[in-house]
Amino acid sequence: MRSGEAFRLKWKDLDFENKTVSINDPEKHSNSRMVRISDTLIAMLKTLPQKSERVFNGSVHCMRTNFTIQRRKIAEKTKNPRFVRISFHTFRHWKATMEYHKTKDILHVMKMLGHKSITSTLLYTQIVSFEGDEYDVKVEESKERIEAYLKVGYEWVGQDNKGQVYLRKRC
């Protein structure tokens, strides 16, 4: 989500049981949407005080200023000036790129981002090239073994005329 959307989140928008966040007040004329969140994020959100209707207090400006200060400290500590170039929006691009890489479903990514135009979504998914990556490859005939590999993230590549199925997963 965008930083302004995160800042405007209300406690009622969080569904810890179903591990989702509803974005009901989207920016840039985007569509409202629901996104899944991790157990780690849920645990972090549960530690925040629920003193008001909104999850985050203060202002968007203060939140961005604090992020800039922390980013600069990390860049200095690690001696890596590239950290200074990271913005809130960088994380949005990263998530979109990784989600497309994982699903190969541009319409899913478009819905996740709340875009109304596929053109906007296409801009997000062209940041990283994954060509040249290494794969762990499995060749299986057993339906049960094939299903087990698919459940742990292997993808189906093909099948030969002997019934052997070729699966792969990035290393």
- Asked if residue 68 belongs to a domain, the reply is yes
Average pLDDT rounded to a whole number, residues 48-59: 91
- Asked if residue 111 belongs to a domain, the reply is yes
pLDDT number for residue 125: 75
- Asked if residue 130 belongs to a domain, the reply is no
**Same structural domain, 75 and 41:** yes
Q: What is the C-alpha to C-alpha distance for residues 86 and 78, in angstroms, rounded to an integer?
A: 14
Average pLDDT rounded to a whole number, residues 107-129: 83
Closest to 106 in 3D by CA, of 124, 86, 91: 124
- Is residue 89 very low, low, confident or very high in pLDDT (cuts 50, 70, 90)? confident
User: What CATH number should be reported for the domain holding residue 90?
Assistant: 1.10.443.10
Residue, of 41 and 63, whose pLDDT is higher: 41
Q: Say if residues 64 and 3 touch (Cβ distance below 8 Å).
A: yes
**Same structural domain, 64 and 120:** yes
The total of structural domains in the chain comes to: 2
pLDDT number for residue 133: 64
- Asked if residue 129 belongs to a domain, the reply is no
Average pLDDT rounded to a whole number, residues 67-87: 94
Task: Tell me which residue range forms the domain holding 163.
Answer: 135-170
Q: What is the C-alpha to C-alpha distance for residues 96 and 109, in angstroms, rounded to an integer?
A: 6
pLDDT number for residue 23: 94
**Same structural domain, 103 and 156:** no
The answer, yes or no, to whether residue 9 has pLDDT greater than 90, is yes
Q: Say if residues 164 and 140 touch (Cβ distance below 8 Å).
A: yes
Percent of the chain with pLDDT over 90: 46
Sheet holding 14-15, edge to edge: 14-15, 20-23, 33-36
- Asked if residue 61 belongs to a domain, the reply is yes
The answer, yes or no, to whether residue 12 has pLDDT greater than 90, is yes
C-alpha 59: how far from its chain's center? 24
**Same structural domain, 93 and 115:** yes
Q: Say if residues 164 and 141 touch (Cβ distance below 8 Å).
A: yes
